[in-house]
Structure 1
Amino acid sequence: MSNEVKDQVLTAGFAQFPKGTSVFETQKVIGCILVINTKTETIIEANFTFISETTNKFIAALLVDEKLDNGIEPLLNKMEKQILFPGKNAVMQAVISAYRNYKEEIIDKATQKS
């Protein structure tokens, strides 16, 4: 493994958009893909499965460089204030799911080492 990705993990989470919203009619599910530096607990890359590149770029910019060592609440508060469309709860749920997958894996590895 190259040193460039040695301390990084790729995690993903998914959530369904609410039925009756226009985004549900075109997309149904949102995926959140995060690359996290495990030493600094910092999101170094983020991507979403939105059709719109503008939406992808904006939400990814909210997440990149965010530290996760104090949990995910500060990030969710930021998203709550800056994302203003009907599917934002699904987006936030996808981020929560990706974060939980990351934390579970990190905790599992730490438990196995001890």
Structure 2
Amino acid sequence: MAEWKNKNTVLTAGFAQIPKGTTLYEVSTMVGCVLIIDADDGVICDASFTFVMDKTSEFLVSLLVGKSVAGGMQEIAQTIQERFLAPGQGAVLQAIRAAVDRYHEKKA
């Protein structure tokens, strides 16, 4: 059983279009991001992405779990920009931002 199942969690999702002309676009035109966030403290408990290759999703999840969305996207964006050096980086950030924004909209 996942550790977050016994917490006050919410699931939120965001999507972004992958830029045309990239290899990733040939596989899928959109990237999706699902975040499970502890509503008590705003910390990401788990995440998932719609990438074909599992390692890409696993790596991104490892960068996000434990990060707080309470203060916005600055720390997450910096981490993604420094460590996820792949085509579609901007789309990944946009999908994460959309999920985080949706979380804040519903929390308010």
Q: Structure 2-normalised TM-score?
A: 0.93
Matches within 5 A, 1:91-106: 91-106=92-107
Hey, what's the Cα distance between the residues in 2 that align with 1:23 and 1:68? 27
Task: Quote the residue 1:110 is aligned against.
Answer: none
SS at match of 2:98: helix
Hey, what's the Cα distance between the residues in 2 that align with 1:105 and 1:69? 13
Matches within 5 A, 1:35-114: 35-107=36-108
Hey, what's the Cα distance between the residues in 2 that align with 1:96 and 1:42? 14
CA RMSD, 1 decimal: 1.1
Hey, what's the Cα distance between the residues in 2 that align with 1:41 and 1:11? 12
The CA deviation string for residues 46-82 of structure 1, in whole angstroms up to 9 with x for no partner, is 0000000000000010000101222111111111000
Q: Which has the larger radius of gyration?
A: 1
Task: Quote the residue 1:4 is aligned against.
Answer: 6
Q: Which runs of 5+ in 1 are unaligned?
A: 108-114
Task: Quote the residue 2:27 is aligned against.
Answer: 26
Q: Which runs of 5+ in 2 are unaligned?
A: none
Hey, what's the Cα distance between the residues in 2 that align with 1:69 and 1:18? 29
Q: Once the two structures are aligned, what percentage of the paired residues are identical?
A: 37
Corresponding residue pairs, total: 104
Task: Quote the residue 1:16 is aligned against.
Answer: 17
Runs of 4+ in 1 over 2 A off after TM superposition: none
Hey, what's the Cα distance between the residues in 1 that align with 2:6 and 2:21? 43
